[in-house]
Chain A
Amino acid sequence: MPLLQTREVTVRFGGVRALDSVSLSADAGVVTGLIGPNGAGKTTLFNVVTGLQAPTSGHVLIDGANVTGYPVHRRARLGIARTFQRLELFGSLTVRENIQTAAEIHQLGSRRRSDVGALTDSILDRVGLDRYAGAAAHTLPTGLARLTELGRALATEPRLLLLDEPGSGLNSAESEQFARLLASLAAEGTAILLVEHDMDLVMQACETIHVLDFGLLVTSGTPDEVRADARVQLAYLGQSDTVSTQAGS
Chain B
Amino acid sequence: MGEFIGLSIAGLSLGAIYAIAASGLVVTYTTSGVFNFAHGAVGMLMAFLYWQLRVQDHWSAPAALVLTLLVAAPALGLVLERGLISRLNVNDTGTMLIVTVAVMVALMGIAYVIWPPSIGRLLPMFFGPNGHVSVDGELVSYEELISIGLAIATALGLRLFFHNTRTGVAMRGVVDDRQLMAMNGRSPQVLNALSWMIGAGFGALAGILTASTYSLDVINLTLLILNAFAAAMLGRLRNLPLTFVGAVVLGLADAYVTGYVRLTGWLVELVPVLPTLFLFIVLLALPAVRLRAGRAAVSKAIHVPSAGASLRNGVVLVVVAALIAPFMHGIALGNVNEGAALGIGALSIVLLSGYGGQLSFAQYAFFGFGAWLFRVLGHGGNPWALLVAAGAGALIGALMALPALRLRGLELALSTLAFGTLAWYMFLSQPQIIGGGDVTIPRLHLPGLSLQNDRVNLVFLAVVFALLSAGVLAIRRSRFGRILVATRDSDTACATLGLNLRLTKVALFALASAIATFGGAIYGSTQMIVTNTDFEYVSSLFIVLIVYVWGISTPGGALAGGMSLALAPLVEVHIPVRFQALTYFMTGLGALTILATPEGIVPLVSERLRRLNPLIGLRSRHTRDMSVGNEQLLARVEVSRATPADA
Q: Is the CB of A171 within 8 A of B639?
A: yes
Known interface pairs A104-B479, A171-B639; A73-B301 also in contact (CB < 8 Å): no
Q: Is the CB of A91 within 8 A of B482?
A: no
B119 close to A (CB within 8 Å): no
Q: Is the CB of B642 within 8 A of A50?
A: no
Contact of B627 among A85, A93, A102, A139 (CB under 8 A): A139
Most buried by B among A77, A101, A132, A152: A101
A214 close to B (CB within 8 Å): no
Give the contacts of A97-142 with B (CB-CB under 8 A): 97-98, 100-102, 104-106, 108-109, 132, 134-136, 138-142
Most buried by A among B290, B299, B492, B497: B497
Flag B476-514 by CB within 8 Å of A: 1 or 0 each. Answer: 000100110110111011111111110000000000000
Q: Is the CB of B637 within 8 A of A141?
A: yes
A86-B296, A89-B296, A143-B640 given; 7 more Cβ-contact pairs under 8 Å: A52-B292, A52-B496, A77-B498, A84-B293, A104-B483, A136-B301, A156-B498
Q: Is the CB of B640 within 8 A of A47?
A: no
Q: Is the CB of B299 within 8 A of A169?
A: no
B298 close to A (CB within 8 Å): yes
Chain B residues in 8 Å Cβ range of A197 = 647
A87 close to B (CB within 8 Å): yes
Give Cα A88–Cα B499 distance, bound, in whole angstroms.
15
Q: Is the CB of A94 within 8 A of B495?
A: no
Chain B residues in 8 Å Cβ range of A105 = 483, 486, 494, 497-499
Give Cα A132–Cα B293 distance, bound, in whole angstroms.
25
Known interface pairs A86-B293, A104-B482; A168-B497 also in contact (CB < 8 Å): no
Chain B residues in 8 Å Cβ range of A85 = 293, 647
Known interface pairs A72-B291, A91-B297, A108-B499; A171-B489 also in contact (CB < 8 Å): no
Q: Is the CB of A91 within 8 A of B296?
A: yes
Q: Is the CB of B301 within 8 A of A141?
A: no
Chain B residues in 8 Å Cβ range of A136 = 300-301, 626-627
B294 close to A (CB within 8 Å): yes
Q: Is the CB of A73 within 8 A of B483?
A: no
Give Cα A82–Cα B292 distance, bound, in whole angstroms.
14
Question: Can you pick out 6 interface pairs between chain A and chain B where the beta carbons lie within 8 Å of each other?
Answer: A81-B496, A90-B489, A93-B486, A94-B301, A136-B627, A143-B636
Q: Is the CB of A100 within 8 A of B482?
A: yes
CB proximity of B109 to chain A, nearest CB, Å? 34
Q: Is the CB of A171 within 8 A of B640?
A: yes
Q: Is the CB of A102 within 8 A of B641?
A: no
B605 close to A (CB within 8 Å): no
Q: Is the CB of B641 within 8 A of A90?
A: no
Q: Is the CB of A109 within 8 A of B498?
A: yes
Contact of A93 among B485, B496, B633 (CB under 8 A): B485
A144 close to B (CB within 8 Å): yes
Q: Is the CB of A90 within 8 A of B499?
A: no
Determine the residue in chain B with the shortest Cβ distance to A76.
Answer: B498
A165 close to B (CB within 8 Å): yes
Closest 9 CB pairs of A and B: A142-B642, A76-B498, A169-B642, A134-B625, A72-B495, A88-B493, A171-B639, A86-B294, A139-B627
Chain B residues in 8 Å Cβ range of A73 = 495-501
Known interface pairs A85-B647, A93-B486, A152-B493; A138-B298 also in contact (CB < 8 Å): yes
B643 close to A (CB within 8 Å): yes
Chain B residues in 8 Å Cβ range of A185 = none
CB proximity of B175 to chain A, nearest CB, Å? 16
CB proximity of A54 to chain B, nearest CB, Å? 9
Give Cα A236–Cα B297 distance, bound, in whole angstroms.
34
Q: Is the CB of A90 within 8 A of B493?
A: yes
Chain B residues in 8 Å Cβ range of A50 = 496
CB proximity of B297 to chain A, nearest CB, Å? 7
B628 close to A (CB within 8 Å): yes
Contact of B486 among A101, A106, A142, A144 (CB under 8 A): A101
Q: Is the CB of B493 within 8 A of A76?
A: no
A3 close to B (CB within 8 Å): no
Give Cα A84–Cα B291 distance, bound, in whole angstroms.
13
Q: Is the CB of B293 within 8 A of A141?
A: no
Give Cα A88–Cα B490 distance, bound, in whole angstroms.
6
Q: Is the CB of B497 within 8 A of A102?
A: yes
Chain A residues in 8 Å Cβ range of B497 = 73, 76, 81, 102, 105-106, 152-153, 155-156
CB proximity of A55 to chain B, nearest CB, Å? 14
Chain A residues in 8 Å Cβ range of B299 = 91-92, 138
Chain A residues in 8 Å Cβ range of B626 = 94, 134-136, 139
